[in-house]
Amino acid sequence: MGVRFDRAYCQQPLCGPSRASVMTGLRPNKTGFNDNRHQLRDLVPNVETLGQFFQKQGYYSGRVGKIYHYHNPKHIGTDGDDDLPTWTERFNPIGIDRTQEENITIENTGPAAEKRSMGISMAWWAPVSEDEDHTDGKVATQAIKMIEKNKDKPFFIAAGFFNPHCPYVAPKKYFDLYDINDITMETLESAKEDLKDVPAMAIFRDSKKWPYYFPGVSYEGAKRCKLAYYATISFLDAQIGRILDALEKNNLIEKTIIVFWSDHGYFLGEKGLWYKRKAFELSARVPLIVSVPGVTQGKPCSRTVELVDLYPTLVDHAGFDVPKGLDGVSLRPLLTNPKTKWDRPAMTQVHYAKDKQGYSIRSERWRYTEWNGGKAGKELYDHDNDPQEKTNLANRSEFTSVMKELSQKMVDYQNSYKYVQPPPHEWQLKKKKK
């Protein structure tokens, strides 16, 4: 029904900053939101979020599950790092993926495994269970209730699913859709070769923990986690199907703009890497489908777009004037005609620390990345010929003009950088007390 954007990119491949950019229409550079330790209002107290905008227009604005950042699974069943003014109503279901964590298998070893810390982990569980025993099944059920309760009024309903975030937990029937013998992984020899021409800062968080981020994870263990990741995606697909069915049942499918998006991409062993928070394509690129009744007709779009474009797009298609000062643009022209001429490259930034940051720009052909303004290295990948980003062309003189042109387009983003000192972690506070 919608337009599938095949080149859609997040503003930062990390949960908190990416989700804040969607809900504010502002880049992390403008808000200072660069990690998962911030509350939105502490940084931009007067910002008008997407939910607030629609509330002002008389809409019901409801949230179930994870829209702003949540520490998963620790914050399941709570408000997490939510923003209260965004919503008319909020719901926080909790399922066996949180209440029965002791049953989860952890593939990695080390202190994190000993503490059963699973917010970042190589862990999975395939219980014989019903969809609604799990948090995401309950999220879908509550979203359906919100649709039915508010079907006779304008609504902005956000259903935030936790999967496929680790630990990878879903009913066994979704695991059974896949055969471990069909799960392929890049060999570690090939993966190591892929990283030879990459600047050290590009894999700053991963190099000391390579491969697969944690000690003790075997090649077969990584395959099990990859299968589990696929299972959680299939579980998620089924929940989305339930919500679409509810819209059809209530005669709302022709009256409702539907957006399917994810906050960032993900590595599943490619280059020996796992998780997010990298400037590579697999980390920056996101799934994005936008369906507008009477406009979109199930077509793909190959133009580069950004998650920050969703705020102005929804406001525009709902028939309102787009607020000034947003960093994105309305995707209305591309939703009407996915082949429309479009000259807006996508910008993704990676922030490790004040002195460790990268900016990556993506055109329809090229990905170009500068670390610390190029002083800590550069990367250039030709996606027409190298979609897996195996060969860094940045040191080849014949591509100097390409890099110069792309670098110039990044200047405004780099100059607008705003650094905000994040609050200390709990373990840092305990250390100070000692």
Q: What are the residue numbers of the active site?
A: 15, 69
Angstrom distance (rounded) from CA 136 to CA 294: 30
Residue 209: C-alpha distances to residues 25, 276, 397 (Å) = 34, 14, 33
Residues facing 371 on adjacent strands:
358
Angstrom distance (rounded) from CA 256 to CA 300: 20
Angstrom distance (rounded) from CA 267 to CA 280: 9
Residues facing 234 on adjacent strands:
none
Angstrom distance (rounded) from CA 113 to CA 98: 16
Cβ contact 119:163 at 8 Å: no
Residue/partner pairs of 207-211 with CB below 8 Å, 24 or more apart: 210/272, 210/273, 211/269, 211/272, 211/273, 211/274
- Report the b/e string of 358-394 with b at 16+ CB within 10 A: bbbbbbeebbbbbbeebebbbbbbebeeeeebeebbb
CA atoms within 13 A on the CB side of 231: 28
- The kind and range of the H/E element at 426 are helix 426-433
Q: Which three-class secondary structure state does DSSP give residue 241?
A: helix
Residues facing 275 on adjacent strands:
267
